[in-house]
Amino acid sequence: MLFSLAVVLIAVACTKKMAPATTGTETTPMKSPDSDKEKSSEPEKTGEPGKTAEPSLPALPPAKPMSSLPNKPSEEETGKNVYSAKCGTCHALKNTGSYTFNQWEGILKKMVPNAKLSGDEENQVVAYIKANSKH
């Protein structure tokens, strides 16, 4: 039932709308707001006898240079993700700005083995903590 209703609604929405004519009982198609801009039904001439112009497609935007593609995240950004994912699974995350980096070094010395961070992950977390710790 619902499927049938959907099909009917789509069919009605996709049909050309008709408006009543001013005289008689015939109906005429409604003009769209862009009807003044509509092209004539005659094909465009190319200037060559017997040939017509192909309809043109809109131009594509120019390709982006490689330098404008998204860059690889920095070690600090990756460190923030590792910190959130690995450290936040066991306890609430500490505000990195609440401690100096010297204080964080003692915390990290204990917590890195507990979090089972790889060497790369440890370096990334250290970079994040160092950049965001209390100065």
Structural domain boundaries in the chain: 75-132
> For 92-110, how does the pLDDT look when each residue is reduced to its tens digit (9 = 90+)?
999 999 999 999 999 999 9
Going from the C-alpha of 19 to that of each of 27, 30, 39, the distances in angstroms are 6, 5, 22
Give the pLDDT mean for 10-29: 56
Handedness of CA 72, 73, 78, 79 (dihedral sign): positive
Whole-structure pTM value:
0.49
pLDDT level of residue 85 (50, 70, 90 thresholds): very high
Question: What residue type is 109 in one-letter code?
Answer: K
- What is the per-residue pLDDT for 78? 94
Instruction: Mention every residue, 6+ apart, whose C-beta is less than 8 A from residue 97.
Output: 132, 133, 134
Mean pLDDT, the chain, integer: 75
